[in-house]
Structures are given as C-alpha cells and as structure tokens.
Amino acid sequence: MRREQLVANIRNKKSFLCVGLDPVVERIPAFLNDFEDPIFEFNKRIIDATKDYCVAYKPNIAFYEALGLKGWESLEKTVNYIPDSHFKIADAKRADIGNTSKAYAKAFFETLPFDAITIAPYMGEDSITPFLEYENKWVIILGLTSNKGSKDFQLIQTAEGQLYEKVLTTCSSFGDDSNIMFVVGATQTNQMQRIREIIPNHFLLIPGIGAQGGDLKSTVEHTINKDVGILINSSRSIIYADHSEKFDEFAKNEALSLQKDMSDFLRISV
C-alpha cells in the first residue's frame, strides 16, 4: 500500500485505528471451539465487526506460531480475509543476516500478502534492506517501546544522545517516509516531542493504548503531523471486550468509540 493511499483511507474514515489480532485460545469465547478453526472464526467475526472503524489490522505472529501448523493456517486465512482496503501488518519482529531477511521478506510479502512487517534493528542495515526491496511494502522498525525493559538498552545515553535516537536517525536513512515507519509505545509520552523532532514526517505505529495504560489524547497531541502520521493500535481492549456469544458486538462498540475520539482529534488538529 502506498503512503498516499494510507493517508487517504485515514482521512476518509476519520480513523487511524489499527486493530491487533492477537488470539489466545484460552481467552476466546468457548462456543467458538465448536468450529473447525476457532482462531480464524474469532478473527473473522472481529474483522467483520470492526472493519468500518479501522484502517489497519496487526496480527501478532507469535500467537499463531505457538499453535504450530494449524496456527499458521489460521494466520493465512486471516490475512487473506482482511479487506485489501486495510493496511495489513505482520507483527513478526524479524531481521537477521541478509539471506535470512530475504526469506522472511518473501514469507510475509509474497507467500502472505502483508503490507508491512515489524523489524528489530539491532543487526543493522543489511538485515533491514531486503525488506525494502519490495515496492509499496513497509518496514516498521522498533524505535522506543513501552515495556519495562526498554530502559535496558533503548534509553542508554551515548555521545549522540539516547540509543533510540541513534536508531531513529540511522534507520530512517535506509529508506524514506514512504516505506519506513517506527514503533513508539504510547506510554513514552516524555520522549514523543524529541521523536517528532528527529522524524517529523514518518508514520508511527503506536501500541499501548487501553489495556497497557497509554492515553489516547496525550499520545495524539504529541505525535500527529500534517498527514496524521500515526496508527494507534488497540488489541486486548477491543478483541477481549466480552467473552459471550456477542463478543463481536462489544468489539464493534469499542472500535466505534475509539473511531469517534479519533474523528474529533482529526477535526481539531488537521
């Protein structure tokens, strides 16, 4: 998906919501176990319920890999079911030496029709550039995450600033704002102004709203740019809003509520 198309979708829907599809077998409604593929049935109903209110979906690959072959089959059916009008993110956090990255890129951009993949930048440029060889595909690089351990490395002070700042500066030079995004955790509000100084035009994928404690209003105020430039991910607060046979209705209401808030922000800010 081209940047212009993503921006247009955001403006048309008045939403920058990304729904995380992170199914845990033990947490999905019990009645779904009567279906041949409970995980896909769960995802399918979530997608049907939320697609009018979001612009992106982000399956976390680990939850599918943990189920072996059946999980991978559920993932394949899920990504093919997501409408092509929506931005499809493989939250895989891959990156390895060049040949391995080429194989990962083929897996998620050719074998599976994802638009983007999350990448860990530690191994450097040659582990990232194979993903950038695909036209209209995106690399989403871990910039500054919300987890407690982020301070172990990402916030280390160096001669060139904190380490995450070096990651943003260096990795943004591997491509441009039409094929590189960065992950920034919603709880990192103290750093967001600095992040926008370094990468004012890049899109940010921002997890951590809702169940992880991030505040939507504060996050938007610190990160929105002229093209909106943000995708706010919400997973658990939407997909696990309810555990009854009406779980998809509750998911719809949660997504709609977020979309309404986002519409207000767009009306005021952009």
Nearest-angstrom CA–CA distance, 7 and 203: 10
Q: How far apart are CA 97 and CA 148, in angstroms?
A: 28
**Integer CA distances (angstroms), 166 to 10, 99, 163, 243, in order:** 30, 25, 5, 43
Is the backbone of residue 185 left (phi > 0), alpha (psi -120 to 50) or beta? beta
With tokens 């992170």, the residue in question is 22
**Catalytic (active-site) positions:** 93
The tokens of 264 are what? 């207000």
Q: Would you state the structure tokens that stand for residue 185, as one six-digit string?
A: 């955790």
Vertex 113 angle, CA 122 and 11, to 5°? 85
Q: How far apart are CA 239 and CA 189, in angstroms?
A: 25
CB-CB contact of 204 with 231 (8 Å): yes
